[in-house]
Each structure stands twice: as structure tokens, then as C-alpha cells.
Amino acid sequence: MIKILITGSSGYLGSVLSKYLEDAGYSCLGLDTGFFSEALLYPASLAQTTIKDVRYLTDDDLRGIDVVVHLAGISNDPMGKLDPSLVYDPTRLYSIRIAKMCKKLGVRFIFASSCSVYGIGGNEFLTESSPTNPQTFYSLNKRQIEDDLQSISDKSFSPIALRFATVFGSSPRIRFDVVVNMLAGMAVADKVITLNSDGKSWRPNLHIQDLCQSIKCAIDSEYEGGELLVLNVGSDENNLQIIDIARTIQRIVSGCEIKFLSENPDMDKEGLIRDRKVKQGGQDTRTYQVSFEKIRTVFPRFKCEWNVERGVREMVERFSALSLSREMFKRRGFYRLQQLEYLHGNGYLSDDLFWIKSASE
């Protein structure tokens, strides 16, 4: 039986991936620092997870492991007044360190990258060979880790970087700070969809179950190309303008209206909806459409089964069954940036995001 170590196993993605892979017959171990482990919308499966910062990972943690799926990382812009280097440089350092450990021990390495590395695109569909133009420290960090992985790739080590489109869909540890989830949650909780931009930007979108499918394909692949394999993960039909996502949700949730934060600033007194990367007036320069032809060629069995409408309908049904309220929707733990700011600002985390004391204290 293939044995897989998932870093970041108690996050939005890892909470779904562990069960997905175990249901497919793999043996999964998880490693997570626990920043979001208590932020549960509904019960999570009890996958075997060790609470441990990946910066403390040793060779012993990799004994008997066949594949590392590296999800761990900071999933949003740096908090408050912290120097971005304090937030992202450690992520880059421990990612390449783990990859080098995998290379030494003969463990395969799959890296969770992001289509956000493209940053800004025109009307063309961007491919893996298109220039990248990261617009955030998060996106730059993903591209830097890809570069580091390429630098150590050779005939003995062929890592895979999966550039995921913007993920959406249900998870026990839901993120309400990603676009489709946020808009669907608003619609159920408030009957109002508040856009933090003018909605004109394009985004590629990927359902969390299809993300899991792509990781399974990477695990099952026999890729030994001697260089980093980079693949965009998503489907062409899920390249959508944000305003069209909002309108789709409006059709599904009856009586729901669309508003713009620039015209209704009081809609976000907690600062959860506002995106610090959106310019005054609602313009979001991050706009791009992505081609997913290569992954269909490299992994012939991969095919996205979820479009945005299907994913929204599933979430709306689940949120309604859970009686998602405004208070539940605005729970801090479902917003990565705000949760980290809280932990750091209240002395639970150091400037370089090591635990100082337990959040339960």
C-alpha cells in the first residue's frame, strides 16, 4: 500500500484530501501546525495527524513514506505590519529543505502551487510556458519554490508542481476568504452578495474534489522526466468573471441581491470581506484566464467533474442544512489572514509564526 505524508493536513484542502486518498486505498499520515485545526464547520474525518511545525521535520518522519504531498504554507498576504520576508522566507526554506530530504530518501514530492503566479493576463489563455507575473507575496513565494524545485531536479528526482486554480467547495475547515465560497456563504447567511471589487476580473476556478483527483493522478503517475513537471489544474469552462459567479449564485439562492463594497462600506465592519489587494474604486488588477490542456495530455484520466454551478448548489444545500448564520459565516477561523493576525496580535505566535503559547490558554 502506498504511504503518503500530507503536510498541512488540517487545513481547508488537507481536511478533504486525507479522506479522499484513504477512500481510494492509500495510507495517509498528516502533519500540521494547528493554526486552523479548531475551525470546523462540520465534523472532519479522523485521519492520523501529528501536530508539528514542518520546520521541525526530520528524516525519521519520512521513514516508510512513498510520497509527500506538500500543502503546508501561508495561504494569504502577510499580516499587519509584519515584514513579508518573515512570513514567506521560512515557507520557501522549509519547502526546499523537505524536497531535498525527499530526494535523499527516494521519496516522491508533489507541491501545491497556484495559477495565481500568472497574476495579470490579457485575453489569451495562459499555459505553463507563459510568463509569470506574481502580484502578491503569496504568488511570488509559490513561483520561487517552483524555481527551487527545478534547481534540484535531475534523473534521480522528478517533483511535480500542480498550479491549482482558485479552489472552491465544501470542506470541514471551510475557507470563506476564497471567492466562490465567500459569495455562496453570503448568499445563504445574508441573502446579499457583497463584491469587494467591480467583479470584472477573470479567475480560473477548481472544485476541491477535482483538486484531490489531480493529486491522485500525480501520485499514480510514473513521471521520471528529470525536471520539475508543472501542470495547471482546472477546466476551461471554469474560467469566469467574478460578477458572473455572483449572478450564478443569485439564480440559485432565491431573493438574493448583489451589492458592491465600494458603494456599501458598512457591509464589512469586521474587515472580513475587504481584499487588501483590490484598489480604491473596486479595480482588481489580478485577472487572468488559464489553459488546462497540458494536464489532460499528461494525465489522460484526469477530468474535472465539477463546474462552479454544481459546486455552488452543493454548498448552498449543505450550508442551508447547517442553518449557516451570519455569525457562523463570519467566524474568524474561516478567514486565514484574520485568524493569523489574531494569533500573532494576541501573543500566541512569534513574528516568524512559531507557537509561543497554545491558543487554548
Task: Dump pLDDT digits (tens) for 291-342.
Answer: 999 999 999 999 999 999 999 999 999 999 999 999 999 999 999 988 999 9
The x, y and z cell numbers of residue 192, run together, are 446579499
**151, 89 Cβ separation under 8 angstroms:** no
Percent of the chain with pLDDT over 90: 78
Tens-place pLDDT, residues 201-213? 899 999 999 999 9
Question: DSSP readout, 124-157?
Answer: EEE-TTSPP---SHHHHHHHHHHHHHHHH-BTTB
Per-residue confidence (pLDDT) for residue 226, from 0 to 100: 97
Buried b / exposed e over 310-326, threshold 16 CB at 10 Å, is: ebbebbbebbeeeebee
Tens-place pLDDT, residues 290-302? 999 999 999 999 9
Strand-pair partners of 289: 125
The x, y and z cell numbers of residue 160, run together, are 511535480
More confident residue, 278 or 248: 248
- On the question of pLDDT at 196 being above 90, the answer is no
Grouping H, G, I as helix, E, B as strand and the rest as coil, residue 231 is strand
Report how far apart the first and last C-alpha atoms of the chain are (Å, whole number). Answer: 40
The x, y and z cell numbers of residue 278, run together, are 483590490
Instruction: Tell me which CATH homologous superfamily contains domain 3-173+206-236+288-305+335-345.
Output: NAD(P)-binding Rossmann-like Domain (3.40.50.720)
Q: How confident is the model at residue 282 (pLDDT cuts 50, 70, 90)?
A: low
Grouping H, G, I as helix, E, B as strand and the rest as coil, residue 280 is coil
Q: Phi then psi for 97, rounded to 5 degrees?
A: -65, -45
C-alpha radius of gyration, the chain, whole number: 19
Grouping H, G, I as helix, E, B as strand and the rest as coil, residue 268 is helix
Contacts of 5 (CB under 8 A, 6+ apart): 28, 29, 30, 31, 61, 62, 65, 67, 68, 69
Per-residue confidence (pLDDT) for residue 359, from 0 to 100: 67
Contacts of 138 (CB under 8 A, 6+ apart): 74, 75, 76, 77, 88, 114, 116
How many CA atoms, within 13 angstroms, populate the side-chain half-sphere of residue 230? 20
Best mean pLDDT range from 43-47, 135-139, 274-278: 135-139
Question: DSSP readout, 175-211?
Answer: -SSSHHHHHHHHHHHHSEEEESS-S--EEEEEEHHHH
* Selection from 274, 336, 326 nearest residue 12 by Cα: 336
Percent of the chain with pLDDT over 70: 91
Tens-place pLDDT, residues 92-118? 999 999 999 999 999 999 999 999 999
Per-residue confidence (pLDDT) for residue 75, from 0 to 100: 78
Q: How confident is the model at residue 124 (pLDDT cuts 50, 70, 90)?
A: confident
